Amino acid sequence: MSKKKPLPLLENILITDFAAEGKSIAKADDMVIFTTLAVPGDIVDLQITKKKKNFMEGRVVNIRKKSEIRATPFCAHFGVCGGCKWQNLPYEKQIAYKQQQVADNLTRIGHLDLPEISPIIGSEKTQFYRNKLEFTFSNKRWLTTEDMQSGKTYPTMNALGFHIPGMFDKVLDIEKCWLQDDISNQIRNFIKHYALEHELPFFDLRSQEGFLRNIIIRNSTTGELMLIVVFYHEDKTEREALLNAIAEKFPQITSLIYIINGKANDSITDQETIVFKGNDHIYEQMEDLRFKIGPKSFYQTNSEQAYKLYSVVRDFAELHGEELVYDLYTGTGTIANFVAKKAKKVIGIEYVPEAIEDAKINSAVNHIDNTLFFAGDMKDILNRDFITQHGRPDTIITDPPRAGMHQDVIDTILFAAPQRIVYVSCNPATQARDLSLLCEQYKITKVQPVDMFPHTHHVENVVLLIKK
C-alpha cells in the first residue's frame, strides 16, 4: 500500500489580504492559500494541511517578518481558544477590513447598485463588551503545545473554560477572558477553585458522567448580574453548599439560578430553571425602555452597540406615527418595542415561542399597547392570508439568522410591497443574495455597517430599500 505523499512546507510566503470568515490569504505559484492568525504584510512559513484542486489550506509555523500593521495580542489564550482571532490587528484596521467585507459581498455576490456605503460604526469598548458568556466544565483539559513541551505535570485534568474548536470533549482552561466585565473572571475562578478543593466531579462529555456541567454569566448596563449553574444530576447537599458559597462570596449577583440537565447536549431551552436566590431575571435599559432578560432570553450580546444598531434601524425606518410595521425574526421584540412609539402598530414574528413570550412581557413592562406578536416558522406564518388578515405593512424590518431569508419569505415580502424595507444582517454574504432578489422591485438607498464584535471578523450591516 503506497504511502500518502507528505504535504509541503512553503517558506517566505507573503500574506496579502483577508478572505471570508476572517481567514488570511496568500498565493504561491498562482495557487491560493488560506490560513489563520496571520495579517496582511506578514512573511511566513506555511505547513500545508489541505490541498485541493483550486486552493490549499495551511498553518503558520514560523513568522519570518512581522507586518508593520501587526498588533500584539493582549490575551494569554490568543490563538488557542478560537475566539478574538483578530487581536493581532489594530482595531482601526479591523473595522476597515469589515467595511471592505461588506462592500465586497454586496458587489461581488449581489452585483448590486449601491449608494456610497456609510463609514462603519465602531465599538467604543473593544474589551469587556459582552453581556453573556458560557463556560464548560470538563475532565479533559486541553493541553497546548507549550504546555506539553514545558514538562509541567498537572495534578488534575479538570478545566472550566471554552471548547476547543473542532474538539467537542476538550476544554481550554481559562484564567482571564477579556470579553466580559472582570466580575465574570472572579466568579468563574472562584467556582473552579471551590470545585477542585471539594473534589466535585467535572463533566465527562464522552462518557456523560460527572456533576458540574456549565455556567452562564449575564450582566447588564443597569448593574444587575445573573449566574446560571448547570448540574448533570441532583445532589442536594453538594449543590446547596456550592450555591451558598457563591451567594456569600458574590452578594452582587442579583439572580442566582440552577438547572439540572441530564440529557446528552448542553442546550437549556427545554430545561427547568430554578431560582436559588434573588430574581428570575435581570433588566437591560435602552433609552426609556426596560427589557426583561430571563435565563433563556436572547438579547444582543454587546448592549452598547445594540443601541447604536437599533438607532440606525429606527432612523432608516423614518416612522411618523401612522405606519403599520412588520418586524420579522423579532426575537424578544427588542426592535419592535424600540420603534413602537413612532408607529401606529408593530407586528413581530419569531420562530421561538419563549422569545415571543418575552417580547409580550417587554411590551407590557414598558406600557406599549400597539404591538402584536406571533410565534412560528416565518415561511409558514408570513403568507398572503396573514397579510390579508393583518394588513399590508408600510415598512418591513427584517433581521434574519446567518442563513438569511427563505425564498418563500422573500416572495411574500415582494407581494406585501411595503414602501420601505430595513434589512439587518449578521452575514453580508447571505444578505447580498437576498438583496439581489428584492432589488427587482426595490432600490438600495442606504448602507450602514456596525461592528458588534471587536477582534472577530463578524460584522452587522443595515440596508434601506425603497420601493421603485
Catalytic sites, residue numbers: 426
- Compute φ and ψ for 215, nearest 5 degrees: -130, 145
* Cα distance between residue 382 and residue 348, in whole Å: 10
DSSP state of 109: I
Q: Which residue in the block uniquely carries the three cell numbers 449553574?
A: 229
- For residue 385, give Cα distances in angstroms to 165, 219, 392, 394, 439: 44, 41, 11, 17, 24
Residue 389 in grid coordinates: 388578515
How far apart CA 264 and CA 326 sit, in angstroms, is: 38
Q: Specify whether the CB–CB gap between 162 and 136 falls below 8 A.
A: yes
57, 125, 282, 341 from 305: Cα distances, Å: 34, 9, 19, 21
Residue 34 CA to residue 27 CA, distance in Å, equals 9
Distance CA 110, CA 133 (A): 34
Bridge partners (DSSP) of residue 423 are 398, 463
- Cell numbers placing 264: 446528552
Phi, psi of 141 (to 5 degrees): -65, 140
CA distance 36 to 81: 13
